[in-house]
Amino acid sequence: MSASLLEQLIDAFRVLPGVGQKSAQRMAYHVLEREREGGRRLADTLAKAIERIGHCRRCRDFSETDICATCGSASRDAHQLCLVESPADRLAIEQATGYRGLYFVLQGRLSPLDGIGPRELGLDTLAARLAEGEVQEMIIATNPTVEGEATAHYLAQLARQHKVRPSRLAHGVPLGGELEYVDRGTLSHAFGSRSEMPD
Amino acid sequence: MSASLLEQLIDAFRVLPGVGQKSAQRMAYHVLEREREGGRRLADTLAKAIERIGHCRRCRDFSETDICATCGSASRDAHQLCLVESPADRLAIEQATGYRGLYFVLQGRLSPLDGIGPRELGLDTLAARLAEGEVQEMIIATNPTVEGEATAHYLAQLARQHKVRPSRLAHGVPLGGELEYVDRGTLSHAFGSRSEMPD
Ligand SMILES: [Zn+2]
Ligand SMILES: [Zn+2]
């Protein structure tokens, strides 16, 4: 017997993070009982977003256009480049701090066992950009996890090869934590008191 | 400035129950970063479900067909009719108990201040059904809230008018709680030890 459309819908909701069987059921019933209009909008927007949102050619962040609004903005300081693991981390920094420089989104971190090396993180593009000579400081905001620290170390070496000064967010971000979930105050403080990385 | 598609997507996710700004952000980023295929399936299934899932003409539960599978089944006992407030409550009872009778889904509870009276709950249809004479016991499984109890009382009177025996789930379901969130064991026990309602 094939699954009913309702069962298929409950199953489909489980693709969302943190959503198990029970929450998926609640979501399906809630939408069908009380939010058909909002549910239709969600379906439309989700389909459209998946179709149209790609990555900025310059910073690898999500973008509907070839070059994102931040990279294309004349009012951002091109001397500072902040490196983050994910678009969510970039958003967290943008919302919590007064940073006016540019970003580079790795879309991951070095993880040799998973086959994620420098190429997968776009570090060839990054190296070419550093070679342009405009970037003076590289703010390395990878997560303070083992892999994030190893990635930071690798990035700092790459920066020095191009005479770019690497810096790292100050302690204050809890060790082993995920940047995305750090409260604004802590993140803002850590960002402000970043220090130059030792050799 | 109009909202970007990403912002629209984050906003659209907030239609889901229990999803605030932060969770909506996580959902949008998660789907775009790691689950585009699953996200596409969710968008499709959601649109299809909203378009095709209506209500069973006999029990008012969700159904893709005019009469749902339960109402159309020859193996269910038509002498017992279980009344619940919502499709989610019906599902909770179906999954937790060995009940083999039929259901009637009120899609709400009496709430005069919100303009929800007997007609909005389909009680005219219910009365016509009781008049058919096949139902012998009406198991009233409305929530143990003030409005749910008032609804139960009203339903019990309707049952007696048609010489149908009204019963109510046993205590065990926590007062003020929502049936949908009661654990299976408690719900199963309460269902099994339901008692006839006093006049
Ligand atoms: Zn960009
Ligand atoms: Zn039915």
Q: Is B52 on the interface with A (CB under 8 A)?
A: yes
ipTM over 0.90 threshold: no
**Record: contact A6-B53, CB cut-off 8 A:** yes
Q: What is the pLDDT of residue B171?
A: 63
Task: Note the pLDDT tens digit of each residue in A51-109.
Answer: 999 999 999 999 999 999 999 999 999 999 999 999 989 988 988 888 999 999 999 99
Our CA angle for A53, A140, B36, nearest 5°, is 20
Distance CA A134, CA A26 (A): 52
Q: What is the DSSP letter of A114?
A: G
Put simply, the chain B residues between 79 and 98 with a CB less than 8 A from any chain A CB are 86-88, 91
Contacts 24+ apart (CB under 8 A), A184-193: A184/A95, A184/A96, A185/A96, A187/A92, A187/A93, A187/A96, A187/A97, A188/A96, A188/A97, A191/A93, A191/A96, A191/A97, A191/A99, A191/A139, A191/A141, A192/A97
Nearest Cβ partner for A49 among B5, B50, B87 = B5
Q: What is the pLDDT of residue B153?
A: 93
Give A175's pLDDT tier (boundaries 50, 70, 90). Answer: low
Q: Is B184 on the interface with A (CB under 8 A)?
A: no
Nearest Cβ partner for A9 among B6, B40, B49 = B49
Q: Is A9 on the interface with B (CB under 8 A)?
A: yes
Q: Is A163 on the interface with B (CB under 8 A)?
A: no
Q: What is the pLDDT of residue A98?
A: 85
Q: Is B17 on the interface with A (CB under 8 A)?
A: yes
Q: What Cα–Cα distance (Å) separates residue B76 from each residue in A163, B59, B79, B89, B123?
A: 78, 13, 9, 18, 22
Name chain B contacts of A48, Cβ cutoff 8 Å: 5
Residues ≥6 apart with Cβ < 8 Å to A89: A105, A141, A143, A179, A180
Q: What Cα–Cα distance (Å) separates residue B62 from each residue in A28, B13, B39, B142, B179?
A: 11, 23, 24, 18, 18
Name chain B contacts of A96, Cβ cutoff 8 Å: none
Distance CA A15, CA A24 (A): 9
Name chain A contacts of B31, Cβ cutoff 8 Å: 15-16, 46, 50
**Record: contact B16-A4, CB cut-off 8 A:** no
Distance CA B59, CA B195 (A): 23
Mean of all residue pLDDT scores within chain A:
90
Residues ≥6 apart with Cβ < 8 Å to A162: A127, A130, A131, A135
Distance CA B86, CA A163 (A): 66
What radius of gyration, in Å, describes the C-alpha atoms of chain B? 20
Distance B195 CA to ligand 2 centre (A): 25
* Residues around ligand 1, an ion, CB closer than 5 A: A 56, 58-59, 68, 71
Tell me the DSSP string of A43-92: HHHHHHHHHH-EE-TTT--EESSSS-HHHH-TTSEEEEEEEESSHHHHHH
Q: What is the pLDDT of residue A1?
A: 45
Tell the residue number behind the tokens 């008032």, with chain if given: B150
For B63, which residue in chain A has the nearest alpha carbon?
A: A6
Percent of chain A with pLDDT over 90: 71
Residue B174 has pLDDT above 80, yes or no: no
At B166, the amino acid letter reads P
Q: Is A42 on the interface with B (CB under 8 A)?
A: yes
Give A27's pLDDT tier (boundaries 50, 70, 90). Answer: very high
Distance A119 CA to ligand 1 centre (A): 18
Domain extents in chain A = 76-168
Name chain B contacts of A93, Cβ cutoff 8 Å: none
Contact A189, A96 (CB under 8 A): no
Residue closest to B198 by CA, chosen among B161, B162, B167? B167
Residue A159 tokens read as: 């920066």
Task: Note the pLDDT tens digit of each residue in B102-115.
Answer: 999 999 999 989 89
Q: Is A174 on the interface with B (CB under 8 A)?
A: no
Distance A121 CA to ligand 1 centre (A): 15
Task: Note the pLDDT tens digit of each residue in B118-140.
Answer: 999 999 999 999 999 999 999 99
Name chain B contacts of A47, Cβ cutoff 8 Å: 40, 43-44, 47
Give B1's pLDDT tier (boundaries 50, 70, 90). Answer: very low
Q: Are strands B101-105 and A77-84 parallel, antiparallel or unpaired?
A: unpaired
CATH of B76-168, one of 3.40.50.1370, 3.40.50.460, 3.40.1360.10, 3.20.20.100: 3.40.1360.10
Residues ≥6 apart with Cβ < 8 Å to B45: A5, A8, A9, A12
Distance A73 CA to ligand 1 centre (A): 9
Q: What is the pLDDT of residue B127?
A: 96
Task: Note the pLDDT tens digit of each residue in B43-63.
Answer: 999 999 999 999 999 999 999
Distance CA B143, CA B170 (A): 12
Q: B21-34 vs B5-13: helix axis angle to the nearest 10?
A: 120
Backbone angles phi and psi of A101, in degrees to 5: -85, -160
Number of cross-chain residue pairs from A and B with Cβ atoms under 8 Å apart: 143
Mean of all residue pLDDT scores within chain B:
90
Contact B81, B132 (CB under 8 A): no
Give B97's pLDDT tier (boundaries 50, 70, 90). Answer: confident
Residue A199 has pLDDT above 80, yes or no: no
Tell me the DSSP string of A137-157: EEEE---SSHHHHHHHHHHHH
Residues ≥6 apart with Cβ < 8 Å to B194: B139, B167, B168, B169, B170
Distance CA B39, CA A19 (A): 13
Q: Please tell me which residue, A177 or B57, carries the higher pLDDT value.
A: B57
Residue B150 has pLDDT above 90, yes or no: yes
Percent of chain B with pLDDT over 70: 94
Contact B17, A64 (CB under 8 A): no
Q: Please tell me which residue, A2 or B196, carries the higher pLDDT value.
A: B196
**Record: contact B16-A27, CB cut-off 8 A:** yes
Mean pLDDT of A33-37: 92
